[in-house]
Amino acid sequence: MKGRNNSDKSSRRKFLRKLGTGIGVVSLTGVPGASVIAGSKTESGEKIKLLSPEGRLVEVDRENIRPARETTDYIKEEARKGLHGRKFVMVIDLAKCRNARKCVEACQEGHMLPKDHEWIKLYLLQDDRNTAPYWLPRPCFHCDKPMCVSVCPVGATYKRDDGIVLVDNQRCIGCKFCMTGCPYSARVFNWKDPEVNLPPGQAYDPETNIPPVEGTVGKCVFCADKLRRRELPRCVTACPMGVIYFGDLLEDSITNGEETVRFSKIMDERAGYRYREELGTLPSVYYLPPFQRLFPFERGLEDVDEETRLRYRDAGPR
């Protein structure tokens, strides 16, 4: 998977990933809008090549193909349900982070975000004069008691059964109440036309929030589209230090792409915690304290450009 040019493929795959749940495969080779019914009895013997949800070319009998409901409505309906029997969780090891910003870049590229939209943000924090400064990557926390979802007047943002909180930007009216509701500043607003060039007829998918819409809210989606393909979120795979772990809480297992560990064990051994537990939002993102850090925090200010350095000019004890 590494380094492959994914840009056109990912957009294509968005249509295609529903095979695992039963329906919805779209053709790559001239059978637009077709899908496969698993286990159909009759066969014509005539095979047609289709792209599977995993992105592989498969042969399917013509009889088993019927037009897919690959409309935006269908995608949105699936995106509201979430993945059955999963509860996603992220663990961020603050001891390893050195503000390399690869997570930000991968996220922006993968979600076609403009440069000034950061769904995952890097903060330089210092709790007090006498405590150590540290880097804190902050994605959306996908809280179990999400304030943003509670306050949404139209149900544009919602919590799925697998724990992911998404935004339907075709429903969002842009009241920004969720942005004031979120205590973690995790949401961004499309203040102007995002000017994203997309192939015409591209269906909207809340799992990527592509295409973005002016006057609506966007935020980290835990790469829900990749999870559907059993792939790790973009920030996890992009991180050169392996800072970000991701997994299914129910399986008690998290991985950063290199090593796989038990969630309960690492929480126990590394004294994992959640940011501002007292707020009672029950985040799905946990942090491991920056104990015996791999890099001095100053490293994070060395390899970045001037503009990035500028944003931390006022950082310090609060």
Q: Interface residues for another protein in 127-186 (CB under 8 A)?
A: 136, 138, 144-147, 149-156, 158-159, 161, 171-177, 179-181, 183-185
Is the bond leading into 211 cis (omega within 30 degrees of zero)?
yes
Nearest one of 133, 109, 134 to 120, comparing CA atoms: 109
Residue 47 binding another protein, by CB under 8 A: no
Q: Which of residues 214-273 bind another protein (CB under 8 A)?
A: 214-217, 230-232, 246-248, 250-253, 255, 257, 260-262
Enter the tokens of residue 259: 């090593």
Query: In the chain, which ranges are E strands?
Result: 35-36, 47-51, 57-61, 65-66, 88-93, 121-125, 134-138, 157-159, 165-167, 188-189, 217-218, 244-248, 253-255, 260-262, 285-288
291 is a site residue for another protein (CB under 8 A): no
Tell me how far, at minimum, the Cβ of 41 lies from another protein, in Å.
Answer: 28
Is 276 a binding residue for another protein by CB under 8 A? The answer is: yes
Report d(CA 36, CA 68) in Å as an integer. Answer: 8
Count residues contacting another protein (CB under 8 A)? 83
Of residues 78 through 107, those in contact with another protein by CB under 8 A are 85-87
- Would you say 99 or 208 has its CB closer to another protein? 99
Of 269, 253, 272, 250, which is closest to residue 261 (Cα–Cα)? 253
Least spacing, CB of residue 66 vs another protein, in Å? 26
Sign of torsion over alpha carbons 309, 189, 175, 157: negative
- 193 versus 302: smaller Cβ distance to another protein: 193
The two structure tokens encoding residue 106: 């991968």
Output 40 or 170, the one with its CB closest to another protein.
170
Instruction: Write the DSSP string, 239-270.
Output: -TT--EEEEEGGGTEEE-SS-EEEHHHHHHHH
**Residue 74 or 123 with smaller CB distance to another protein:** 123
Provide the mask over 17-46, with x wherever binding to another protein is found by CB under 8 A and - wherever it is not: ------------------------------
By the 8 A CB rule, do 178 and 152 touch? yes
115 is a site residue for another protein (CB under 8 A) = no
**Which residues in the 183-212 window bind another protein by CB under 8 A?**
183-185, 187-193
Task: State the Cα torsion 146-148-150-156 to the nearest 10°.
Answer: -120
56 is an interface residue for another protein by CB under 8 A: yes
* Closer by beta carbon to another protein, 191 or else 291: 191
Among the listed residues 21, 32, 47, 57, the single contact to another protein using CB under 8 A: 57
> To which H or E segment does residue 82 belong?
none
Instruction: Give the binding range for another protein (CB under 8 A) out of 37-45, 55-63, 64-72, 284-292.
Output: 55-63
Q: Which residues of 294-317 are buried (b: 16+ CB within 10 A; e: fewer)?
A: ebebebbeeebeeeeeeebeeeee
Q: How far is the CB of 239 from another protein (least distance, A)?
A: 15
Contact region with another protein (CB under 8 A), list: 10-18, 33-41, 65-73, 123-131: 123-131
Nearer to another protein, 9 or 62 (CB): 9
- Rounded-to-integer distance, Cα 189 and Cα 233, Å: 22
Q: Least CB distance from residue 233 to another protein, whole Å?
A: 10
